[in-house]
Amino acid sequence: MNENGLPGLDPRLACAWPRRLRQVRVRMIGAHEIKNWVLHDSEQVLVINKPGGVVCHPSKAGPWSSLAGAVREYSGMNVAYLVSRLDRETSGLVVFAKNHEVAGRLQRALSLRQVGKSYLAIMTGEFSRQVTVAQPLGDDENSPVLAKSAVRPDGQPAVSHFTPLAQGGGFTLVRVVTETGRKHQIRAHAQWLGSCIAGDKIYGPDERCFLDFIEKGWTPALEKRLLLPRQALHCAELDMRKAGIGSVFSAPMPEDMRVFCETRGITIPEGL
């Protein structure tokens, strides 16, 4: 608040010149693709294995520019009830409820931590011991990236368990189990550990990589620094038995993360 009792100006929203940022091209979904992404289709839910680069929420570019829109077109539902979402660049399991009642029940189950979530991630550095990060998260007010989160004492409680699975070439393949679902939780906790997810434009080697990507797109300079065009984070398992669905859903590690591991001598455990 300023001296007049009015909300203060967030300096991250101000700019000294009218900088024109390039709009990141929307990844359009082909009608033939969505069918191949469906892992489970029942009377209650539709479970999708989302590839990286696909937006979950509807956009202004039409129904086939988002997963929610594509699911609605594919299924014929009037409303696609998005129960669990992922960031654009994160791949893996996304759940849609088929009616309002089921959506409400699953949302309550998520808020009560009755849905188990497990991720696969490729992190910088090699480590072999499990670590739990129980650090509160809130907005990173020192970052030029408005959406960035950070560990801060007045943040919301957040707990992530990192279990290394294999190492090689300066990286570690990790299983991450989250107890909470804060914004960018795994990525912010990885940064707090002194590491980052391979390919992460915001929490990686320099958050300005994200601003460069928005302005210029994917460039050779960004490829040299980030190695991957998207963050190597994949939602691999959702345990929804306590939420009344009676199933544990799983999605195998995507090809881009698999190739990254193989080229760096990381032995991928069987079953992933």
Torsion of CA 121, 125, 130, 133, to 10 degrees: -80
Q: What angle do CA 272, 88, 167 make, to 5 degrees?
A: 35
Rounded Cα distance, 158 and 183, in Å: 10
| Element of type H or E holding 48 | strand 45-50
Rounded Cα distance between 8 and 91, Å, is 37
Say if CB 133 and CB 160 are below 8 A apart. Answer: yes
Q: Alpha helix (H) ranges present in 128-237?
A: 185-192, 208-216, 220-226
Cα(55)–Cα(65) distance, integer angstroms: 7
> Does 87 qualify as catalytic in the annotation?
yes
How confident is the model at residue 180, as a pLDDT?
95
Residue ranges of the chain whose pLDDT lies below 50: 2-3, 9, 13-22
User: Model pTM?
Assistant: 0.90
**Nearest CA to 234 among 217, 253, 256?**
253
Residue of 223, 190, 192, 54 whose CA lies nearest to 122? 190
Choosing from 10, 41, 87, 239, the catalytic residue is 87
Say how far apart CA 241 and CA 252 lie, in whole Å: 20
Residue 245's SS3 state is coil
User: 125: which residues sit within 8 A by CB, 6+ positions away?
Assistant: 170, 171, 172, 194, 195
Task: For each of the domains in the chain, give its residue range(s) and CATH number, in order of start.
Answer: 24-112 (3.30.2350.10), 115-272 (3.30.2350.10)
Residue 173 pLDDT: 98
Q: What CA–CA distance (Å, rounded) separates 59 from 27? A: 11
Tell me the CB-side half-sphere exposure of residue 101, using CA atoms within 13 A.
4
Is 5:194 a contact under the CB 8 Å cutoff? no
Positive or negative torsion for Cα 182, 159, 162, 47: negative
